């Protein structure tokens, strides 16, 4: 299971969580933009902000920039969070139901069982904890397409890419 979300993986209205021990909330990305400079240490930040000190010490300040995400949901609405503080919401049966999917079938496969979920004409199949876009061809063979996804924001993005409709979850 991946632990990091990359900024390029998120779109506005994706559902996410925040990596803090006491925050179990579910949020949506409200906007994407801007960067925050993250320094390796307090000394690096001081060097960056004081050119004379940096020249005297002959040290180079170390930092990286992280994309900022505006979020909405509860008391955190309007906050801007850096990408390294975001985490995905694992796809579960509960979340599939919230997003309007219905459990449809079990397919037997050489590698084991596939559990098929459907919303309108969009189907996904779960295999060993990963979810794949699935379809049945006119000759009645079933196929799984793409790489396995694990998180709700990935499912939202796949759904939107194939249907041009936002996947709403209630």
pLDDT tens-place string over residues 31-61: 999 999 999 999 999 999 998 888 888 888 9
| In a domain? residue 74 | yes
Domain of 83 in residue numbering reads as: 7-87
- 11-39 mean pLDDT: 92
Residue 113 has pLDDT above 90, yes or no: no
What is the percent of the chain with per-residue pLDDT over 90, rounded to a whole number? 62
Given 50, 72, 87, the domain boundary residue is 87
| In a domain? residue 97 | yes
Residues 57 and 113 in one domain: no
- Report how far apart, in Å, the C-alpha atoms of 85 and of each of 18, 35, 105, 139, 161 are: 6, 13, 37, 47, 26
| In a domain? residue 1 | no
Residues 30 and 74 in one domain: yes
Residues 81 and 107 in one domain: no
- 130-156 mean pLDDT: 84
| In a domain? residue 130 | yes
Residues 20 and 80 in one domain: yes
Most confident of 1-10, 97-106, 129-138: 97-106
How many domains are contained in the chain? Answer: 2
| In a domain? residue 49 | yes
Query: What pLDDT score was predicted for residue 1?
Result: 57
The residue among 85, 99, 70 whose CA lies nearest residue 12 is 70
Residues 118 and 71 in one domain: no
Residues 122 and 79 in one domain: no
The residue among 138, 97, 139, 137 whose CA lies nearest residue 118 is 97
Residues 31 and 71 in one domain: yes
Residues 79 and 107 in one domain: no
Given 87, 103, 119, the domain boundary residue is 87
| In a domain? residue 2 | no
Residues 99 and 61 in one domain: no
Query: What pLDDT score was predicted for residue 95?
Result: 97
Residues 83 and 97 in one domain: no
| In a domain? residue 170 | no
């Amino acid at each position: 299971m991946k632990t990091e979300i990359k900024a390029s993986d998120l779109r506005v209205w994706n559902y996410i969580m925040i990596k803090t021990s006491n925050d179990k909330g579910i949020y949506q990305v409200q906007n994407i933009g801007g960067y925050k400079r993250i320094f390796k240490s307090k000394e690096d930040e001081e060097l960056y902000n004081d050119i004379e000190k940096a020249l005297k010490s002959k040290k180079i300040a170390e930092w990286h920039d992280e994309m900022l995400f505006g979020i909405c949901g509860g008391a955190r609405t309007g906050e801007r969070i850096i990408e390294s503080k975001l985490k995905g919401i694992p796809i579960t049966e509960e979340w599939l139901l919230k997003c309007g999917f219905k459990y449809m079938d079990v397919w037997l496969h050489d590698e084991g069982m596939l559990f098929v979920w459907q919303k309108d004409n969009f189907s996904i199949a779960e295999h060993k904890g990963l979810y794949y876009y699935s379809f049945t061809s006119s000759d009645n063979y079933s196929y799984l397409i793409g790489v396995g996804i694990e998180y709700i924001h990935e499912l939202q993005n796949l759904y939107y890419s194939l249907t041009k409709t936002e996947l709403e979850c209630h």
